[in-house]
Amino acid sequence: KAGVTQTPRYLIKTRGQQVTLSCSPISGHRSVSWYQQTPGQGLQFLFEYFSETQRNKGNFPGRFSGRQFSNSRSEMNVSTLELGDSALYLCASSLIPVNTEAFFGQGTRLTVV
């Protein structure tokens, strides 16, 4: 079966702009989590969605937001981009939130210039 699909793979934006990233989970998976990965901080949890509801949120500013659609696809949005937002953004899907079998997409590499 198809894996987790993230689009786009690469993105270059300038400071102050906003960006929307997309994640399509594995078919049948209803939980989607987002992570930010940087060389200095490693993988940091952004938020988790299940049944179109945000169930948990990490310690990130309000510029970072997300949503989940009825087909379980998810988007995350970052507004007023800063240089420090440059990172690999990873999406993980699982059947249900408490299920520890999470499958990651290839990520979106965001570069802010």
Partner 1 sequence: TQLLEQSPQFLSIQEGENLTVYCNSSSVFSSLQWYRQEPGEGPVLLVTVVTGGEVKKLKRLTFQFGDARKDSSLHITAAQPGDTGLYLCAGKSAGAGSYQLTFGKGTKLSVIP
How many amino acids of this chain bind partner 1 (CB under 8 A)? 31
**Could you say which DSSP state residue 102 is in?**
-
Sole binder of partner 1 in the list 15, 18, 101, 111 (CB under 8 A): 101
Stretch in the footprint of partner 1 (CB under 8 A) among 11-19, 34-42, 68-76, 78-86: 34-42
Cβ distance to partner 1 smaller for residue 32 or 112: 32
Q: How many CA atoms lie within 13 A of 4 on its CB side?
A: 27
> Would you tell me which residues interact with partner 1 (CB under 8 A)?
4, 6, 31, 33, 35, 41-45, 48, 50, 55-56, 58, 90, 92, 94, 96-107, 109
